[in-house]
Structure 1
Amino acid sequence: MKKASVLMILGPLLLLGLYVFPLWNIMLGAPQYPDPLGMNIHIDGIRGVGEFDIQNIDGLNHYIGMRTLPKDDEMWEFSTFPLIIGAMVALGVLIGLLGYFGKVNYKWFLGWFILMSVLGVLGMYDFNAWMVDYGTNLDPNAIMKLTHPDGTPMTYKPPLLGHVKMLNFDVTSLPATGAWMMFAGMTLTLVAAWLGWKTTRPGAAPEAVVA
């Protein structure tokens, strides 16, 4: 159980990478932009991949009626997500320590993983809902009013995951370094739960005691 508990401590600590690295990355490439424009989605705000990328993206969006990208203080998520991540890291480390000293069992490890998974799904849902609103709630007085062949207004929602063609832009949305660190940390906690179950089930060999 102690090996499992060590993994349970290490797993949540990997989530601290979200305070340094971006969670998601969206890139926009077009023939007129040899260097694609990009934005990194952090848990506390949106940053441009290049120095002027946010300014250029907002300039392009203005022509088709999309709003400017939100500032850090314009979305409640950017002040709430860092608190949630910090609370989950602290909770996970505490559970790992309690497991190390035999106060809780592997079910607590699994419980943390399930709770973090639920929060992750809710976060992705919220992110996708924001992109739907961002790409479809357009200014009716926009300079360019583009429509589909059937006459319905064209929308510009970036993909949640993967690639899509929007006008002459190739838009790609993928997890960034922070997300991969989070996934790795969550995987460690799942392995910790499995090891904890394996070492505590009936008939399991006792762990070696290190002097």
Structure 2
Amino acid sequence: MKTSSFLMIIGSILLLGLFIYPLWNIRLEAPQYPDPLGMDIYIAGIEGEEEFDIQNIDGINHYIGMKKIPKPEEMWEFNIFPIVIGGMAGLGVLLGLLGLFGKISPHWFLGWLVLMTVLGVLGMYDFNSWLIEYGTDLDPKAIIKLTDAEGNPLSYKPPLLGSEKILNFTAHSYPKTGAYLMFFGMFLTLVAWIVGSRKMKRD
């Protein structure tokens, strides 16, 4: 079970990449901006791709009544997510070590993966809920008020995944390095469970 345990440990450690690399990226392209405006979303906050991107995005949002990009202290998620990721990484390494010394079966690795998947889905749901609020909770006193054919205020919600036209902007929303490291780490834990289970059956 050494191979599966080492895979479990490596997969869990890869989660720590989320403390270094962004999880997600939202980029806005428009004719008046030769260089797209972008924001990288980390588990502990949001940063602009370039120095003044956040400032410029906030300036655009002001005209249509959208809120400013939140600071870390303004969203509870930025305090909780690092604890969750650190805890899951530590738990995964512990399970890998226990498996290495034959204290647990590889089915614990699958349990970790299921829990991590549930937490990931909840995180994406929360992220999408924030995007909905961010794009629809508009200031009624905004300088520019745009409505659809029925007179309802337009939604400026960026897509959760993919590209979408918003006024004269095209918004792109895609995973970044931290997410890919997390996905690969979870894939390794799946492989760890498969390899460990097969080893148990042979023994």
Q: TM-score range by the shorter chain?
A: over 0.9
**5 Å matches for 1:52-131?**
52-131=52-131
Aligned to 2:4: 4
Structure 1 unaligned residues grouped into runs of 5+: 207-211
Displacement over 2 Å in runs of 4+: none
Aligned to 2:194: 194
CA shift digits 1:7-31 (9 cap, x unpaired): 0000010011000000000000000
Amino acid in the other structure paired with 1:4: S
SS in structure 2 opposite 1:39?
A: strand
Distance in 2 (alpha carbons) for counterparts of 1:149 and 1:49: 35
SS in structure 2 opposite 1:199?
A: helix
Distance in 1 (alpha carbons) for counterparts of 2:150 and 2:167: 16
Aligned length: 203
Aligned to 2:32: 32
Aligned to 2:146: 146
TM-score, normalising length: structure 2: 0.99
Distance in 2 (alpha carbons) for counterparts of 1:172 and 1:148: 22
1:40 offset after TM fit, Å? 0.3
**Matched-pair identity in %:** 64
**5 Å matches for 1:162-177?**
162-177=162-177
Distance in 1 (alpha carbons) for counterparts of 2:105 and 2:24: 34
Distance in 1 (alpha carbons) for counterparts of 2:56 and 2:124: 26
Amino acid in the other structure paired with 1:42: Y
Amino acid in the other structure paired with 1:197: S
Structure 2 unaligned residues grouped into runs of 5+: none
Distance in 2 (alpha carbons) for counterparts of 1:98 and 1:171: 45
CA shift digits 1:78-118 (9 cap, x unpaired): 01100110100000000000000000011100000000000
Amino acid in the other structure paired with 2:17: G
SS in structure 2 opposite 1:151?
A: coil
Distance in 1 (alpha carbons) for counterparts of 2:181 and 2:74: 27
Which structure: larger Rg?
1
1:150 offset after TM fit, Å? 2.2
- Aligned-residue Cα RMSD (Å) equals 0.6
CA shift digits 1:56-95 (9 cap, x unpaired): 0000000000000101110000011001101000000000
Amino acid in the other structure paired with 2:19: Y
Distance in 1 (alpha carbons) for counterparts of 2:71 and 2:93: 32
